[in-house]
């Protein structure tokens, strides 16, 4: 706030009161010359009237006047405006009047005959005081404005807070240190079905929680786990509405302190009903879409097998019709081959869809690896891939599910060979290695190839349901089934892969010497 | 002596099937399991027609088709494209001829190969 400040060089208004016409004129000329605006009055009464009308900052008044004298004028002006400066003009040697005037807080006195110098000094002092007073007044009114401003701000902040609390979508409930509800906003009303009037100062905050939950929340508030001590951030729980409905909510809260002492608690409740419903829908949608994809993929794969079967049947018929046993044999081979594929698919599906315990039986892990190599030898040879065996002779008989492990190795070796076939580098000599190692209480199987390797995108989807890189030639079940079997054994499966360099899959299985060993 | 037909497919079973169908109907089938081998046999054996599986790993079918059409030795051999997906041929044609001055294949057949359809098409192309 800016106020016009009077300075002693700025134009001030001066009231000159003197019964002597010549003095009035002389002073007027002199003062106008100094830059003042001058108002004159012939006696006290006229002076007071002029003062009221003109509100001069400075008054020059003669002491000895007929009617109202200068002392009386001084008294009255001081009452009218304590800030106005009154300079009294005293007769030569009239020290008594001068002292009296000063006691009545006249600004100054000038002796007659008036000299220009004395007048200037008196005016200067008066102006200085006026200036200081105005500064003080500005300062004071600034202060007042500032206080008003701060008060307004506080009020605005308070209103804002009230608004914020009241209009927050979250339910906001605060309780005093005795647990009695003191804040219950619109959001809380909507959430819980109570009106604020019903609960404020009438209900304990604990009432909104199912039994035991309030204690848990207090414990969490005091504990460090959710957002640190005295705070609770995004804690999921339930609260109970007025009509008894359990509402899932996310609670954030804080203990309120007043000078170090617990003053109460405030909690924010986010309604999770909508979110929970959406989450459920999302999971359901994902499940449906995965199921749809699975069915589509499976249909494709089954159709492929069916084609093979039909082809086989056609050839068998041709062989029969023409009585050619070599054709018959080829056709029968195709039928058998496709029957094996169907059987394999069904087994995979059953393994994948059921929770089962591995059928542990004593077996030699190296023998299983050998069997798988023998089975895959032909497939590898056709694609000019070398099959390397690197089996640890220190592995003895142990308890595994031999069929399961056989299936896992068959899947992994089959994948390794496919990965070599898919390798665009035609000149590369591809090889697939099966290694076994005993590592303490574990057996490790490593199946590595130097084939195409997997891109990051493929790696990300590796254990996705029904994801396959082989189009209709794959079900996307192989790795899932492998992982499931390994995990049912209490083992783990991991891999390392670089596009262009190849892939290594590692299965770690517990080396059980008896079926009871966990 | 029957007409010589080259079957190029990465699935041994498909080769067996097509070979027997062809053989039993008076053709002489020869086969290759990939595009490189297929190209070699196309040049060496000069087949009368080629049955080419488009879906072989690493652009095998597409690459081989383009090579066949760009080589003077093979560019006049009729090629029937065997496709796994029924898309009416437009997509395959685009893939096979894209961006190059390559004529479209002489015919398409869809997997699963229906022997009657294959034999009819081959008969028409070779008459």
Q: Are residues A66 and A98 in the same domain?
A: yes
Q: CB-CB: which of B13, B24, B36 is closest to A334?
A: B13
Block means of pLDDT (10 residues each) for chain A, 518 residues, are 40 88 87 89 93 91 89 91 88 80 84 85 85 80 81 82 80 88 90 91 87 80 74 84 89 84 86 82 77 74 84 90 89 89 85 81 93 89 88 92 92 89 74 93 93 84 71 74 90 90 93 73
> Does residue A384 lie in a domain region?
yes
Which tens digits make up the pLDDT trace of A333-377? 889 988 988 888 888 888 877 777 888 899 999 999 999 999 889
Q: Are residues A304 and A363 in the same domain?
A: no
In this prediction, residue A149 carries a pLDDT of 83
Q: Which residues of A touch B111 (CB under 8 A)?
A: 307
Q: Are residues A281 and A298 in the same domain?
A: yes
Q: Name the closest residue on chain B to residue A334, using Cα atoms.
A: B13
Q: Does A323 touch chain B (CB under 8 A)?
A: no
Q: Does A310 touch chain B (CB under 8 A)?
A: yes
- CA-based nearest residue to A200, from A188, A210, A209: A188
Q: Are residues A500 and A363 in the same domain?
A: yes
**Which residue segment(s) compose the domain that A449 sits in?**
356-518
Task: Give the fold, CATH level 3, of B4-126.
Answer: Rossmann fold (3.40.50)
Q: Which of A295, A326, A355 represents a domain boundary (last residue)? A: A355
Query: Can you tell me whether residue B26 is helix, strand or coil?
Result: coil
Q: Does A322 touch chain B (CB under 8 A)?
A: yes
Q: Are residues A394 and A351 in the same domain?
A: no
Q: Are residues A432 and A346 in the same domain?
A: no
What's the distance, Cα to Cα, between the start and end of chain A in Å? 84
Contact in structure between A215 and A197 (CB atoms under 8 Å): no
Q: Does A327 touch chain B (CB under 8 A)?
A: yes
Q: Are residues A398 and A499 in the same domain?
A: yes
Which tens digits make up the pLDDT trace of A32-61? 888 889 999 999 999 999 999 998 989 999
In this prediction, residue A494 carries a pLDDT of 92
Contact B112 A307 (CB under 8 A): yes
Q: Does A382 touch chain B (CB under 8 A)?
A: yes
Q: Does A337 touch chain B (CB under 8 A)?
A: yes
In this prediction, residue A3 carries a pLDDT of 36
**From the candidates B58, B83, B85, which should be mutated to test the interface with A, based on the most A CB atoms within 10 A?**
B58
Domain harbouring A423, CATH code: 3.30.565.10
Number of domains in chain A: 4
* Tokens linked to A278: 């959406």
From A171's Cα to the closest Cα of chain B, the distance in A is: 57
Q: CB-CB: which of B20, B113, B115 is closest to A327?
A: B20
Interface A–B counts its CB contacts (< 8 A) at 43
Q: Does A435 touch chain B (CB under 8 A)?
A: no
Q: Name the closest residue on chain B to residue A327, using Cα atoms.
A: B20
Contact B13 A311 (CB under 8 A): yes
Q: Are residues A425 and A360 in the same domain?
A: yes
The mean-pLDDT minimum among A275-284, B23-32, B118-127 falls in A275-284
Mean pLDDT of B54-77: 84
Q: Which residues of B touch A322 (CB under 8 A)?
A: 24
Distance CA(A38)–CA(A40), nearest Å, equals 7
Q: Does A330 touch chain B (CB under 8 A)?
A: yes
Distance CA(B116)–CA(A375), nearest Å, equals 36
From A460's Cα to the closest Cα of chain B, the distance in A is: 22
> Does residue A141 lie in a domain region?
no
Distance CA(A161)–CA(A167), nearest Å, equals 10
Whether this model's pTM surpasses 0.90:
no
Q: Name the closest residue on chain A to residue B57, using Cα atoms.
A: A422
Half-sphere exposure of A318 (CA within 13 A, CB side): 22
Cα R_g (chain B), whole angstroms: 13
Q: Which of A136, A158, A182 represents a domain boundary (last residue)? A: A136
DSSP string, A220-267: HHHSSTTTSTTEEEEEEEEEE-TT--EEEEEEEEEEEEETTEEEEEEE
Beta strand A58-62 with A85-90 is parallel
Q: Are residues A283 and A267 in the same domain?
A: no
Domain harbouring A62, CATH code: 3.40.50.2300
From B90's Cα to the closest Cα of chain A, the distance in A is: 20
Q: Are residues A180 and A91 in the same domain?
A: no
Q: Name the closest residue on chain B to residue A427, using Cα atoms.
A: B36
Q: Does A478 touch chain B (CB under 8 A)?
A: no
Q: Which of A296, A320, A355 represents a domain boundary (last residue)? A: A355
């Amino acid at each position: 706030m800016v106020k016009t400040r009077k300075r002693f060089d700025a134009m001030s208004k001066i009231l000159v009161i003197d019964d002597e016409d010549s003095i009035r004129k002389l002073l007027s000329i002199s003062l106008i010359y100094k830059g003042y605006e001058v108002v004159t009055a012939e006696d006290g009464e006229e002076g007071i009237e002029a003062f009221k009308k003109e509100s001069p900052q400075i008054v020059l008044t003669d002491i000895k006047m007929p009617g109202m004298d200068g002392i009386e004028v001084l008294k009255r002006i001081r009452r009218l405006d304590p800030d106005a400066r009154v300079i009294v003009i005293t007769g030569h040697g009239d020290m008594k009047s001068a002292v009296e005037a000063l006691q009545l807080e006249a600004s100054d006195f000038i002796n007659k005959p008036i000299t220009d110098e004395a007048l200037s000094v008196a005016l200067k002092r008066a102006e200085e005081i006026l200036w200081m007073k105005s500064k003080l007044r500005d300062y004071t009114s600034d202060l007042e404005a500032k206080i008003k401003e701060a008060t307004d701000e506080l009020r605005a902040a308070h209103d804002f807070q009230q608004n914020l609390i009241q209009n927050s979508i979250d339910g906001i409930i605060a309780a005093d240190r005795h647990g009695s509800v003191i804040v219950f906003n619109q959001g809380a009303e909507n959430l819980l079905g109570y009106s604020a009037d019903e609960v404020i100062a009438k209900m304990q905050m604990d009432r909104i929680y199912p039994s035991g939950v309030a204690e848990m929340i207090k414990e969490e508030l005091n504990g460090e786990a959710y957002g640190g001590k005295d705070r609770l951030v995004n804690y999921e729980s339930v609260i109970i509405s007025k009509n008894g409905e359990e509402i899932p909510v996310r609670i954030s809260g804080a203990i309120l302190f007043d000078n170090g002492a617990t003053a109460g608690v405030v909690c924010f409740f986010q309604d999770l009903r909508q979110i929970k419903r959406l989450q459920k829908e999302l999971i359901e949608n994902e499940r449906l879409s995965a199921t749809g994809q699975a069915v589509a993929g499976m249909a494709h794969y089954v159709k492929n097998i069916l084609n093979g079967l039909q082809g086989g049947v056609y050839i068998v018929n041709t062989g029969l019709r023409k009585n050619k046993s070599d054709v018959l044999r080829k056709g029968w081979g195709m039928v058998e081959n496709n029957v094996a594929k169907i059987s394999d698919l069904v087994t995979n599906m059953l393994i994948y869809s059921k929770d089962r315990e591995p059928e542990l039986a004593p077996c030699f892990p190296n023998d299983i690896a050998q069997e798988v190599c023998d089975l895959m030898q032909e497939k590898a040879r056709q694609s000019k891939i070398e099959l390397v065996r690197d089996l640890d002779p220190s592995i003895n008989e142990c308890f595994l599910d031999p069929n399961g492990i056989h299936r896992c190795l068959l899947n992994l070796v089959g994948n390794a060979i496919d990965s070599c076939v898919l390798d665009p580098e035609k000149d590369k000599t591809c090889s697939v290695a099966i290694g076994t190692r005993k590592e303490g209480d574990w057996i490790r199987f490593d199946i590595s190839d130097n084939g195409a390797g997997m891109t990051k995108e493929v790696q990300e989807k590796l254990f996705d349901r029904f994801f396959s890189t082989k189009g209709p030639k794959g079900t996307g079940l192989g790795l899932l089934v492998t992982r499931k079997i390994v995990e049912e054994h209490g083992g783990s499966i991991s891999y390392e892969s670089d596009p262009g360099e190849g892939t290594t899959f590692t299965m770690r299985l517990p080396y059980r010497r008896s079926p009871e060993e966990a | 002596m029957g007409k010589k037909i080259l079957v190029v497919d990465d699935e041994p079973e498909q080769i067996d099937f097509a070979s027997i169908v062809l053989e039993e109907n008076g053709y002489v089938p020869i086969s290759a399991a990939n595009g490189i081998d297929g190209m070699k046999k196309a040049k060496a054996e000069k087949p009368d027609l080629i049955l080419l599986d488009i879906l072989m790993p690493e652009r095998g079918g597409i690459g081989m088709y383009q090579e066949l059409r760009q080589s003077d030795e093979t560019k006049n051999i009729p090629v029937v494209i065997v496709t796994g997906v029924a898309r009416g041929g437009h997509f395959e044609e685009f893939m096979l001829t894209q961006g190059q001055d390559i004529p479209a294949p002489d015919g398409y057949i869809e997997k699963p190969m229906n022997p009657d359809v294959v034999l009819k098409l081959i008969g028409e192309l070779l008459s």
